[in-house]
């Protein structure tokens, strides 16, 4: 049982996120998503359109996601990898290199982002509609 973890805000869930989650799940047998809380989003200078509970429900509706946990801090990743017995950490390659410090605990795998789609783009088109 290979366990995979990934982190993010996953606001206005779109096919870029879904492709990331599909590929992440395909790296193993069980996918954990650490979902950024609103408080943590503030640390990332992000404001989500949807609440944490709504974003969690969206992710839990996907067949690729097995468990959603809260992401509260930058520092929790090492504890998460140990606590959830993670074999593979993965993120989109906009984060390439940023989490290599986990490589003594698990495989670290960056995947190409999906072009021409983002939550920001969607929010802008929502606001201008
Ligand atoms: N993503 C993607 N393609 C897009 C948009 C996003 O592959 N067009 C990926 C990102 O690379 C990331 C994941 O989807 O791996 C979630 O994206 P965000 O919700 O924007 O996550 P972010 O704010 O980058 O949070 O501790 C890590 C942070 O919480 C990451």
DSSP 17-72: HHHHHHHHHHTSSEEEEEEEPHHHHHHTT---SS-HHHHHHHHHTSTT--EEEEE-
Question: Which atom of ligand 1 is least distant from the CA of 46?
Answer: 23
By C-alpha distance, which of 12, 64, 11 is closest to 33? 64
Active site residue 77: no
Over range 35-54, report the average pLDDT. 96
Of 50 and 123, more confident? 50
Over range 85-93, report the average pLDDT. 98
Strand partners, 3: 30
Give residue 90 CA to ligand 1 midpoint distance, Å. 10
Q: What is the pLDDT of residue 56?
A: 98
* Helix (H), strand (E) at residue 108: strand 107-111
Question: Minimum mean pLDDT among 27-31, 49-53, 81-85, 118-122: which range?
Answer: 118-122
In this predicted structure, the answer to whether residue 38 has a pLDDT above a threshold of 90 is: yes
In this predicted structure, the answer to whether residue 129 has a pLDDT above a threshold of 90 is: no
Give residue 17 CA to ligand 1 midpoint distance, Å. 7
Mean pLDDT of the chain: 97
Q: What is the pLDDT of residue 118?
A: 92
């Amino acid at each position: 049982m290979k366990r995979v973890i990934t982190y993010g805000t996953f606001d206005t869930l779109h096919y870029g996120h879904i492709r990331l989650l599909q590929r992440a799940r395909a790296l193993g047998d069980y996918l954990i998503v650490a979902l950024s809380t609103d408080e943590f989003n503030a640390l990332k200078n992000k404001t989500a359109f949807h609440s944490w509970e709504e974003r969690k429900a969206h992710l839990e509706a996907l067949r690729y996601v097995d468990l959603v946990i809260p992401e509260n801090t930058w520092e929790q990743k090492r504890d998460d990898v140990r606590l959830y017995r993670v074999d593979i950490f993965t993120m989109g390659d906009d984060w390439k290199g940023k989490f290599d410090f986990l490589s003594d605990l698990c495989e670290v795998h960056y995947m190409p982002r999906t072009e021409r789609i983002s939550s920001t783009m969607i929010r802008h088109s929502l606001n201008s509609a």
